[in-house]
Amino acid sequence: MCWSATADLVAGTTIGAIGVYCVVRVRTPRELPLAALPLLLGAHQVVESVVWRHGGGTGWATLTWAVIALPLLPLWVSIGVLLVTPGTARPRLLIPLVAGVVTTGVLCHALATRTVVAEIRGNRVGYLLDLPQPLLVVAGYLLATVGALLLSGDPILRLLGILTGAGAVVCVVLWRTEFVSTWCALAAIVSVVLLVWVRNGSRRAGVPRGAF
């Protein structure tokens, strides 16, 4: 989430361009989910620019934003990390994967049975959705995303996990003070780190060229 429709659109376009580069540079099909993550994050920002222009509400853009942010990302990241992790290290990634599957299921049910509403609040957009056991849902979400990255064994992905966890804390603090939304900056950081990860693919052990 950025601080205006224009900022979201510019950030989304830039992040999406990084995603295109990452997808083109992947070495194996196993890398595609993580390499394509900037594409997803870029599309997410572009969708939110539409939410801004519509003044929030409950339209298709709000629902699309929520689907990407809530049920899709924890499953996407946990599967993506599992795919690029060497076989001997994969068992520890099953915990984030299970957390991702369960969290995605809970969030899909919430979106199917409740209405998500976007509200323009100064320099940010607030999204309202009544979640069952919100603390548990957040814990599962973080385990599936940040936890998977930290347990990956890849130094660049571990760095991404640290930056994502720290960045999320900063973003939430600024969001709660209603100063400005900085999620677009976090999405940009994630995309740049993944760009480095893709470009350093030849250094990653356990992911032989052509293996799938």
What's the full length of the chain, in residues? 212
Comparison of pLDDT for 121 and 93, the residue scoring more: 93
Q: Which of 12, 9, 8, 10 is nearest to 20 (CA)?
A: 12
CATH fit for domain 5-203, picks 1.20.58, 1.20.272, 1.10.443, 1.20.1070: 1.20.1070
Question: Tokens representing 37?
Answer: 């993550």
pLDDT in tens, 113-172: 999 999 988 778 888 899 888 889 989 999 999 999 999 989 999 999 998 888 777 666
Task: Give residue 94's identity as a one-letter amino acid code.
Answer: L
- The b-or-e profile of 151-177 (16+ CB within 10 A means b, else e) is bbbbebbeebbebbeebbeebeebbee
Beta carbons within 10 angstroms of residue 36's beta carbon:
18
Q: Is 210 helix (H, G, I), strand (E, B) or coil?
A: coil
User: Structural domain boundaries of the chain?
Assistant: 5-203
Q: List Cβ neighbours of 190 (8 Å cut-off, separation of 6 or more).
A: 37, 38, 41, 160, 163, 164
Q: Is 124 helix (H, G, I), strand (E, B) or coil?
A: strand
pLDDT band with cut points at 50, 70 and 90 for residue 94: very high
pLDDT band with cut points at 50, 70 and 90 for residue 186: confident
Q: Is 157 helix (H, G, I), strand (E, B) or coil?
A: helix
pLDDT in tens, 112-128: 999 999 998 877 888 88
pLDDT in tens, 63-86: 999 999 999 999 999 999 999 998
Measured between alpha carbons, how far apart are the two ends of the chain, in Å?
A: 34
CA angle 55, 60, 66 (to 5 degrees): 90
